[in-house]
């Protein structure tokens, strides 16, 4: 458990984002992230990124690429201003490793993670593990998280892994997933997570269905994805301060 209040008794506020899916192919979304880091996060204590920061991440050797290195160094500026950065793996970037965390000056969070802020226990998760009705994806998730599968993947040259990542990106652009109950979180998974973490408030991303849900005494905030390059512009973040949890739009 991460107790932010104990860490800093004068805690002011924290910001939470997820599902930015950054890539060189999305310059406007990247520009919005630059503004978020440099301006929006100018007077907060901590920033939490709850997964899918990148469209794909196929190993920390991607830091040899100018774009990846630029994003990591941009994020490092938070620590230079005394702001703590926390990152959680998503389904697209679960291969973010220690080299990236060091370059970005970020702390890797387990999924799920319970934080205590202003006296309230909140469970944070990316959200993909809650989509238990999608049996084939959950099987894929379990396999790809194993050390054996990842070590075999890393044997491939970077350029081959890049092609795999780019093919996945193009496939998602051409055939975007149509949201259905199969791809959304399930009530059983939600109840189980609330129960085992002894929490009543949850924040997650992944589903691209931003909303606030209140059900039987539990509150669930779903973070928005960011998309400023194709179709309808969308994006936003959550701010937690002494007055509660607030949904805020991107400032551009």
Q: Give 54-113 pLDDT, tens digit per residue.
A: 999 999 999 999 999 999 999 999 999 999 999 999 999 999 999 999 999 999 999 999
Q: Residue 47 in contact with residue 84, Cβ under 8 Å?
A: yes
Measured distance CA(227)–CA(187) in Å, rounded? 28
Render pLDDT for 157-202 as a digit per residue (tens, 0 to 9): 888 888 877 777 666 654 555 556 778 999 999 999 999 999 999 9
**Which range, of 16-20, 97-101, 118-122, 229-233, averages the lowest pLDDT?**
229-233
Average pLDDT over residues 217-235: 95
Provide the CB-side half-sphere exposure for 47 (13 A, CA): 28
What's the domain range around 120?
2-248
Ranges 4-13, 69-78, 241-250: which has the least confidence: 4-13
Helix (H) or strand (E) holding 138: helix 135-144
* Number of domains forming the structure of the chain: 1
Instruction: Output the domain CATH number for residue 192.
Output: 3.60.21.10
For 22-62, how does the pLDDT look when each residue is reduced to its tens digit (9 = 90+)? 999 999 999 999 999 999 999 899 999 999 999 999 999 99
What span, in angstroms and rounded, lies between the C-alpha atoms of 74 and 88?
18
Strand ranges (DSSP E) for 46-127?
Answer: 46-50, 84-88, 106-109, 113-117, 120-125
Contact 209, 200 (CB under 8 A): no
Nearest of 231, 236, 234, 229 to residue 250 by alpha carbon: 236
């Amino acid at each position: 458990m991460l107790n932010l209040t104990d860490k800093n008794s004068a805690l002011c506020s924290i910001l939470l984002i997820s599902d930015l899916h950054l890539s060189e192919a999305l310059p406007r979304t990247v520009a919005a992230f630059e503004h978020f880091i440099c301006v929006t996060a100018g007077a907060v204590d901590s920033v939490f990124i709850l997964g899918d920061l990148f469209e794909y991440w196929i190993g920390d050797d991607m830091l040899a690429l100018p774009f990846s290195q630029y994003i990591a160094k941009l994020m490092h500026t938070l620590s230079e201003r005394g702001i703590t950065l926390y990152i959680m793996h998503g389904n697209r970037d679960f291969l973010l490793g220690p080299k990236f965390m060091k370059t970005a000056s970020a702390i890797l969070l387990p999924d799920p993670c319970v934080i205590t802020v202003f006296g309230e226990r909140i469970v944070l998760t990316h959200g993909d593990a809650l989509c238990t009705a999608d049996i084939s994806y959950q099987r894929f998730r379990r396999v790809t998280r194993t050390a054996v599968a990842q070590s075999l993947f890393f044997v491939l040259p970077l350029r081959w892994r890049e092609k795999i990542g780019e093919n996945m990106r193009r496939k998602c652009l051409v055939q975007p997933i149509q949201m259905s109950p199969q791809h959304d979180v399930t009530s059983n998974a939600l109840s189980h997570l609330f129960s085992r973490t002894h929490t009543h408030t949850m924040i997650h991303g992944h589903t691209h269905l931003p909303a606030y849900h209140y059900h039987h005494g539990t509150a669930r905030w779903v973070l928005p994805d960011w998309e400023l390059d194709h179709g309808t512009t969308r994006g936003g973040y959550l701010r937690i301060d002494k007055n509660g949890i607030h949904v805020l739009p991107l400032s551009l």
